[in-house]
Amino acid sequence: MTVKKYIGMDVHQETISIAVMTADGKLVMESIVETKASTILQFVQGLHGDLHVTLEEGTWAAWLYDLLKPHVTELVVCDPRKNALLKEGNKSDKIDARKLADLLRGGYLRSVHHAVRTLRQAVRRDLLAESRKHGATKLLRQIPYIGPIRAALLIALIQTPHRFRTKRQLWTYSGLAIETRDSAQYRYVAGQLQRSKKPQQLRGLNENHNHDMKAIFKSVI
């Protein structure tokens, strides 16, 4: 006899909290796994039975849908705004995963994935079509790991490079400028003013920057 299992996933950038329930509502397993394809598949493939999985629509939903769909019986990507029961009572990653599994078991969730995916595909086509109108796209694509999407985003964020007087200003805007600190630069030695030989202190990258720009450049490293 095939055992039905209902799996709720509370997804975050670095980790996923997972709760596994049986058809009668018994919580049989809880785990926190890394948001990494091999780790997620290893966990799912270790479960036996008729697997029904749910997660909320978000940044990772489309990627997880494509990853998990071939390995489960049912996959429901639901709208978090319609999950009123998730807002009741105590809240944590583990509790949210349990509630998602229970809502799926009770048949209270409706999949929104296909509609969202269609919208994303349409937006992607429009974004790429618009970026191709700019000659800078071909130049940006010559940079290693800058693909069509990243090139389009860079064009949208920079707008025009001529608003930056120097390259240094562009690096600062992108959050890639080194900040230094210096104090007590001068001292008197035998009545003569001399510059201190104390080296400047590096304090890391500048904090005042465009975070979207920095995220793009960090993602290609």
What is the reported pLDDT for 200?
A: 64
What is the reported pLDDT for 112?
A: 82
- Where do the DSSP E strands lie in the chain? 4-11, 15-22, 27-34, 50-56, 74-78, 178-181, 186-189, 192-195, 201-205
Helix or strand run (H / E) with residue 173: helix 167-173
pTM (predicted TM-score) = 0.55
Classify 89 in phi/psi space as left (phi over 0), alpha (psi -120 to 50) or beta.
left
What is the reported pLDDT for 16?
A: 95
Domains of the chain listed by start with CATH number: 4-114 (3.30.420.40), 133-219 (no CATH)
Residues paired with 21 in a beta bridge: 6, 27
Please list, in sequence order, all residues whose beta carbon lies within 8 angstroms of the beta carbon of residue 80, skipping any fewer than 6 positions away.
56, 57, 58, 86
CA distances from 59 to 24, 66, 77, 185 (A): 31, 13, 12, 48
What is the reported pLDDT for 89?
A: 54
Helix or strand run (H / E) with residue 70: none
What is the reported pLDDT for 84?
A: 59
Each residue's pLDDT, cut to its tens digit, for the chain (221 residues) gives 679 999 999 999 899 999 999 999 999 999 999 999 999 999 999 998 999 999 998 888 888 998 999 999 999 999 876 665 555 555 677 888 999 999 999 998 888 866 676 777 788 889 999 999 999 999 999 988 899 999 999 999 998 888 999 999 999 999 988 877 666 666 667 777 777 676 666 677 888 899 999 999 888 87
Considering only CA atoms, which of 160, 157, 176 is closest in space to residue 218? Answer: 176
Q: How many CB atoms sit inside 10 A of residue 71's CB?
A: 14
Q: What angle, rounded to 10 degrees, do the helices at 61-68 and 113-131 form?
A: 120
The 8-class DSSP code of residue 58 comes to S
Structure tokens of 65?
A: 């849908």
CA distances from 4 to 27, 53, 106, 123 (A): 12, 11, 13, 37
